[in-house]
């Protein structure tokens, strides 16, 4: 890394509608100095949970009617005498913002200017729950830290290398022209970090690799990374498409929307809400959206919990198979995020479908959690890896690179 980027302290912000997650990262040591979350912004009982790394977390109750107040609480916590990690706000060299949707406008991270803010606003139609919250965070920082440069890192940007055959839906082309209706994909920051880290871990040049990254968390997506570029991904115009997720259905027959609306006497909006919030793992299992609850139920012999796990794993495996075809080959399958990093049984079941490709799991090595590990058998033709994701570090890196 260039000398001038190493000195930086980068504040990484991830703003939701009523929350704000942050990490202060020192790029010289590639070390997180502090992290935390402001919750219930604009509601009541707001609070900040602040963790200076190496010390106990503190919870500070406070009045946060809006994100500007929340950003001020973050700065105060970072410079505080008792649990601060820097002397003053001047020690923050730049702010990296996670922005969910960059549409076709942003194929890479970018320094935030007034023009960029306007362009992000135009993408809000595509992510009405997320982009406005991200913009509020940017505005709050502009007011509180007007002289500190900001960079936007987009969840969609990594996937902008997808060829048209991957991102076009088979709908009248006019909808693409008029509304930019197409596959965008999400989790791009994670897919990029994990793919590049996997190549580094294997001591190989990513340019020569065909990698499938399985980001399996509450939200889940698969990405085909050919030569370091995203060439296909399972999420679409919105994060609803693709895999079975905690509460999201993933792929279904689109005719189900009208069918359910008629049978259940629901509006389209209500049916879409069912697909987003009441489906997926929660919907099938009727137990929980959290795989830990499912594991407990399976251990007690619950058949529907076991079936839910089968449906989940089968869908992931089908995507990996499809992406092996999309890239005409595959060198590594990499697992990340809450489930991918922690659930060996899920990894093992997914891999059981992929032996025809040359996947061969070392079950002993697969008994791992949240560490970087190659868990393939020595005879495997395709490597299988766990690489814990680190979206904040990736955002900090992108920010440092641009400044």
User: Does 270 show up as a binding residue in the annotation?
Assistant: no
The reply to whether 154 sits in an annotated binding site is no
Cβ proximity to ligand AMP, 143 vs 310, nearer residue: 310
Q: Read out DSSP for 199-237?
A: HHHTT--GGG-EEEEEEESSSEEEEEEETTEEEEES--S
155 classed as catalytic: yes
Nearest-approach distance from CB 302 to ligand AMP, in angstroms: 16
Task: Confirm or deny that 290 is annotated as ligand binding.
Answer: yes
Q: In the complex with ligand AMP, which residue's Cβ is closer, 195 or 382?
A: 195
Q: According to the annotation, is 219 in a ligand binding site?
A: yes
Asked whether the beta carbons of 157 and 102 are under 8 A apart, the reply is yes
**Euclidean distance between CA atoms 241 and 186, whole angstroms:** 10
Helix, strand, coil percentages for the chain (3-state, nearest 5): 40, 20, 40
Min dist CB 339 to ligand AMP, Å, is 4
Cβ proximity to ligand AMP: between 290 and 374 the closer is 290
Instruction: Please name the helix (run of DSSP H) or strand (run of DSSP E) that holds residue 177, with its range, or none.
Output: helix 173-179
Q: What is the SS3 assignment for 345?
A: helix
d(C-alpha 147, C-alpha 313), whole Å: 48
**Whole-number minimum distance, CB 377 to ligand AMP, in Å?**
24
Task: Check: CB of residue 336 under 8 Å from CB of residue 216.
Answer: yes
Select from 369, 309, 381, 305 the least CA-distant residue to 340: 369
Reference 44, options 60, 65, 58, 59; nearest CA is 65
Cα 297 from Cα 218, distance rounded (Å): 18
Strand partners, 15: 20
Q: How far is the CB of 187 from ligand AMP (least distance, A)?
A: 10
Whether 191 has a binding-site annotation, put simply, is no
Q: Is 227 annotated as contributing to ligand binding? A: no
Residue nearest to ligand AMP (CB): 338
Q: Do 319 and 234 touch, CB atoms closer than 8 A?
A: yes
Closer residue to ligand AMP in complex, CB, 110/289: 289
Active-site residue, selected from the candidate residues 63, 76, 125, 155? 155
Q: Which is nearer to ligand AMP, 215 or 383 (CB)?
A: 215
> Where do contacts with ligand AMP occur on this chain (CB under 6 A)?
217-218, 246, 290-292, 337-339, 342-343
**CB 100 to ligand AMP: min, Å:** 15
Q: Which residues are catalytic?
A: 155
Residues annotated within a binding site: 14, 21, 98, 215-219, 290-292, 338-342, 391
Residues annotated within a binding site for Mg(2+): 14, 391
Residues annotated within a binding site for ATP: 21, 215-219, 290-292, 338-342
Residues annotated within a binding site for substrate: 98
């Amino acid at each position: 890394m260039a000398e001038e980027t190493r000195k930086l302290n980068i504040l990484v912000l991830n703003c939701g509608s009523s929350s704000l997650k942050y990490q202060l990262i020192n790029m010289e040591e590639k070390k997180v100095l502090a992290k935390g979350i402001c919750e219930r912004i604009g509601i009541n009982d707001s609070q900040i949970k602040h963790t200076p790394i190496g010390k106990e977390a503190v919870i500070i109750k406070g009045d946060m009617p809006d994100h500007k107040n929340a950003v001020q609480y973050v700065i105060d916590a970072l410079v505080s005498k008792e649990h601060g990690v820097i002397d003053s706000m001047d020690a923050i060299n730049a702010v990296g913002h996670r922005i969910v949707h960059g549409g076709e406008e942003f194929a890479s991270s970018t320094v935030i200017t007034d023009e960029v803010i306007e362009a992000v606003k135009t993408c809000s139609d595509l992510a009405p729950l997320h982009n406005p919250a991200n913009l509020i965070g940017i505005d709050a920082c502009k007011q509180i830290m007007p002289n500190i440069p900001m960079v936007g890192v987009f969840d969609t940007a990594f996937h902008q290398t997808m060829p048209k055959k991957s991102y076009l839906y088979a709908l009248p082309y006019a909808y693409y022209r008029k509304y930019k209706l197409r596959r965008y994909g999400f989790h791009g920051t994670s897919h990029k970090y994990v793919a590049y880290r996997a190549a580094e871990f294997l001591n190989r040049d990513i340019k020569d690799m065909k990698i499938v990254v399985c980001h399996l968390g509450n939200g889940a997506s698969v990405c085909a990374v050919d030569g370091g570029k995203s060439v296909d991904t399972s999420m679409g115009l919105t994060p609803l498409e693709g895999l079975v997720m905690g509460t999201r259905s993933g792929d279904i027959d689109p005719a189900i929307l009208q069918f359910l609306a008629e049978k259940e006497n629901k509006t389209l909006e209500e049916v879409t809400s069912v697909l987003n919030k009441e489906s997926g793992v929660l919907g099938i299992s009727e137990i929980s959206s959290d795989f830990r609850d499912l594991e407990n139920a399976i251990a007690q012999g619950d058949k529907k919990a076991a079936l839910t796990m089968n449906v989940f794993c089968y869908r992931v495996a089908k995507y990996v198979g499809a992406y092996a075809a999309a890239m005409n080959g595959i060198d590594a399958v990499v697992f990340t995020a809450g489930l991918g990093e922690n659930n060996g049984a899920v990894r093992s079941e997914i891999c059981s479908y992929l032996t025809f490709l040359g996947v061969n799991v070392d079950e002993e090595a697969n008994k791992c959690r949240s560490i970087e590990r190659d868990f393939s058998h020595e005879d495997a033709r395709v490597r299988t890896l766990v690489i814990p994701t680190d979206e904040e570090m990736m955002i900090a890196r992108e920010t440092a690179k641009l400044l």
